[in-house]
Structures are given as structure tokens and as C-alpha cells.
Structure 1
Amino acid sequence: MSPHVCTVVSCGATKQDLAPGESVPARELYDSSVHTCKDRYGRHSDGYYIMSAEYGLVHNQTELAHYDRTLDDLSDHRTRAWGHDVARDLATILECGGFDAVVLIGSATYVGALEAHFDRFPCAVLTPWQTSEYVTGVGRGMAWCNDESHWPDNVESVAAIGDVVSPAPREV
């Protein structure tokens, strides 16, 4: 039986050009090849969310309008506040959903903003783009996301996805 996994991916810098007032599901807003790979991975999870610099933590089907903000645009104080808010919302989702693990896929900036809060999450935390020896850059991160052997619906244990950062996984 596959573990119950929630995937959270970072937003993307490049987005669809939308008309004023137009919105699309979050997973469709970002149009880079990097996001396409992260999206492919996320769609194979039991829960799939996006951490947006503008909107915080959003479900992949939440309608979003175009925006132009990254965490790099925020002060250290605002980034810490963003990380606190996203971690709070994610902890609630993970608890209510009974997830065995959360896989965080994104840059060191986005994942790093949540790191101080990993102990709030009631399940195993995996950060493959930061901890996998294979992932040495964005290209390898994309390859990791495209490798079906890592997809949550194709594994039999949390450990088969990657290295658990915090805490120990629940038995499945």
C-alpha cells in the first residue's frame, strides 16, 4: 500500500499572461518547464499544494490571478512571517488529512523559509531537492520529479521517496 503523501511545490517566476481580472487554477498559472515537472509529481500525490510568494499556501486548483512577487523580493522579516503562515496552514492540512509524509519541492529559499517549522508537521518531511545526492541543480531536480519511481502513488514506503528530514515517518 502506498503512503498517504502531500506534495507542496514552490511557485514559479514565469506565469501565463492573463487578462485583467482573469484567473486560472494555481497549477496552470506557472508556465516554466521546471514547474511542469513539479506539477507532474504533485498530481501523483494524495494532496497537492503550491507555496506562493503572493498568496501563501494554496491548493493546486485554487483560482489565482497573475502576480509578480517572489520570496527574493521580501525582506528577511517578511520571509520569516511568510514561512510561519505557510507552515501553520500546512500543519493544519497535514493533521486533518492524516498524511504520512509531506514532500517539499522547491528552491532553498522557499523550503528554507519553512525549515524552522518542520517540527510542527505531524508527519515525515522530505526535501528531495535539498537532500538527494542525485539532485545537484535544477536540471537534476526536474529529472527527479519526472522519475516515476519517486512518485507517491508508485512507492510502498515514505523512505522510497527519499531521505526523511524530520521527524521519523509513521508506520504504514
Structure 2
Amino acid sequence: MRKQRPDPVLSTNEVKEQEERPSKSQLKREMHALQALGETLIAMRPAERDRFPLSDDMLRAIEETSRIRSHEGRRRHMQYVGKLIRKEDLTAIQGVFDSIDQEQEQRDHAFHRLEKWRERLIDEGDPAVDLFMAEHPDADRQTLRQLIRNAQREREQGKPPTSSRKLFKHLRETLAL
């Protein structure tokens, strides 16, 4: 039977130091998060990646990733990318991600507005066209009415919504989205 060893007596400074220091598991979680961030940056197109404030070392490491074919080599390289990301300005990188998310949200909102207009135009017909023209006087009323009539006819006959898609595309082009 093994002897029980007594717990070592720690000074108050050592106790405070242990409480402030993150655990090994926490450090691993943070490293995995940084590696995931690196993978996200690697998956982006170069034009998107140019928006980020990345160092030359980081950009070289990202470019190098595409040349690595070995699974184990790629895993080690991703660890290296995670190490490099620690040196980057994470708040600036997060700011760029936030602005990208905000732009995407605005685009989604604009597309939802277009979808609502399309449905309203198809459902209501000419009264909705008058309202749309009041908001967007540059729109081509004749083309709009023709697309609406075709979409209504398709809906009544149960055909695929080809004209409805054309109407949506026309609305998107009219509003320059």
C-alpha cells in the first residue's frame, strides 16, 4: 500500500499565481481557436484576405498552406499558423470579421426587402406597381408590369417560377444591389 503524501504547503503568492494562470486545458482551447481562425483565413479568397491587417510572415504561411499535401504536414503547419496568429493584432482582425458580418447582414436585409416587393407586386398587381414607382421613379414600368403579368400567369398555371426569378433579378438591377 502506498503512503499518502501530504499536500505541499503553498505560500499565498504561489496560490494567487496559480489562480491567475490559465489551466493547460484553457491554453489548448485558445490554441485550437487560433488554429481555427487561421483555417478561416486560409479558406478565404485572396481578395477577401487583403482586408485583414496580417503580417508578411502570416501571409507567407497562408500561401505555403496550399502547397502542403501531407495530412501530418498540414496539421503541423496549422499549429505553426496558430503560433503566428498569436503575434497578430486580434482585435483588428475581429473588427474586419465584424464589418464583413455587418455587410452580409445588410445584403441579406436588402434581399429580403426585394423578396417582399416581388411577392407584393405579384399579389397586388398595379396598385403595388404605383407604390414601387413612387419609391423608385427610375424603374421601367412597362418591363416591370410585363414581368409581373408573366409571374402571375405562371403562378396560376402551377409552372416553375421563371418569370418570378426574372422579376427579382430586374428589381435587384433596378435598385443596384
Which structure: larger Rg?
2
- Bucket of the pairwise TM-score, normalised by the shorter protein: under 0.3
Using structure 2 for the length normalisation, give the TM-score: 0.25
Q: Which one has a larger percent strand, Structure 1 or Structure 2?
A: 1
**Taking structure 1 as the reference length, what is the TM-score of the superposition?**
0.25
